[in-house]
């Protein structure tokens, strides 16, 4: 797939239990090579900035997003030996970013996919990375280990479908718990080459996209609260675990 690209996406969240509730919204995401980030005209740069501090919670500042990822992997005994890393994520727009889910496909120097890093952010400013090893179809499983929603406890198991995208993007996250599926999320989109024109059009059709994503999630939370869905407090002293599959 050509990088950098934009995926014009449709994102759907569906809560199946204890009440049925779903919503869908339109947005866009970047697909980039971490060693070849977009070079945009000066007037567009405020609408697409990739800051390494937005990812991985590294206590040591890193010069680039690739450096931050390599440090994260090195802490887990993984060396890509300079292999290619592609990522699906949101860029900073006018200084603001929110990434509910960022995906990093990590290849070694032979081009083989070594692992996928799925980084989750919540609306409270927290973040957590799941390092997974997918099968040939891009599927993996991992225990839920991060507080995302005040309406979902930190248990269960995620079934992920995260194949590296081509012309089409198809990502799915399905939460399994005690033999049931309380929550699913999907993201689908079609690629466009990231040119000055396509980036400018995205700002007109989906202005301030990262801010709107955060606002929509909060609005849906209010809707669930009004429907008297029980609140799950944030765990105190909860140790975030990371499972590799």
Specify whether the CB–CB gap between 93 and 30 falls below 8 A: no
Nearest to 198 by CA among 29, 1, 35: 29
In a domain, 232, yes or no: no
Question: pLDDT, tens digit, for every residue of 153-191?
Answer: 899 999 999 999 999 999 999 999 999 999 999 999 999
In a domain, 153, yes or no: yes
Q: How far apart are CA 33 and CA 5, in angstroms?
A: 10
In a domain, 244, yes or no: no
Specify whether the CB–CB gap between 7 and 68 falls below 8 A: no
In a domain, 241, yes or no: no
Structural domain harbouring 192 = 5-226
Specify whether the CB–CB gap between 235 and 154 falls below 8 A: yes
In a domain, 24, yes or no: yes
In a domain, 238, yes or no: no
The whole-model pTM stands at: 0.90
In angstroms, the Cα distances linking 152 to 40, 72, 133, 173, 231 are 40, 28, 25, 14, 8
Q: How high is the pLDDT of residue 242?
A: 40
Q: How high is the pLDDT of residue 164?
A: 98
In a domain, 117, yes or no: yes
| Band (1; pLDDT cuts 50, 70, 90) | low
Question: pLDDT, tens digit, for every residue of 139-155?
Answer: 999 999 998 877 778 99
Residue 141 CB burial class (10 angstroms; 0-12, 13-18, ≥19): middle
In a domain, 235, yes or no: no
Number of domains forming the structure of the chain: 1
Specify whether the CB–CB gap between 182 and 156 falls below 8 A: yes
């Amino acid at each position: 797939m050509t990088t950098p690209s934009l995926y014009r996406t449709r994102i759907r969240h569906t809560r199946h239990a204890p009440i049925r509730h779903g919503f869908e919204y339109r947005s866009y995401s970047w697909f980039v090579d971490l060693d070849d980030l977009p070079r945009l005209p000066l007037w567009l740069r405020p609408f697409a900035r990739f800051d390494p501090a937005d990812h991985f919670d590294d206590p040591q500042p890193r010069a680039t997003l690739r450096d931050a990822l390599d440090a994260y992997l090195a802490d887990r005994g993984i060396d890509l030996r300079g292999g290619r890393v592609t990522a699906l994520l949101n860029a900073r727009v006018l200084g603001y970013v929110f990434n509910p889910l960022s995906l990093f496909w990590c290849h070694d120097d032979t081009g083989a996919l070594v692992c996928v890093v799925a980084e989750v952010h919540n609306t409270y400013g927290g973040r957590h990375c799941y390092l997974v090893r997918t099968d040939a179809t891009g599927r993996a499983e991992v225990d839920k280990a991060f507080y995302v929603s005040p309406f979902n406890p930190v248990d269960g198991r995620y079934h992920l479908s995260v194949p590296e995208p081509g012309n089409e993007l198809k990502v799915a996250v399905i939460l399994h718990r005690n033999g049931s599926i309380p929550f699913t999320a999907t993201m689908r989109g079609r690629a466009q080459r990231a040119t000055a024109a396509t980036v400018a059009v995205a700002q007109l059709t989906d202005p301030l996209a990262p801010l709107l994503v955060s606002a929509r999630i909060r609005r849906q939370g209010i809707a669930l609260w009004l429907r008297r869905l029980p609140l799950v407090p944030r765990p105190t002293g909860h140790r975030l675990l990371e499972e590799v599959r």
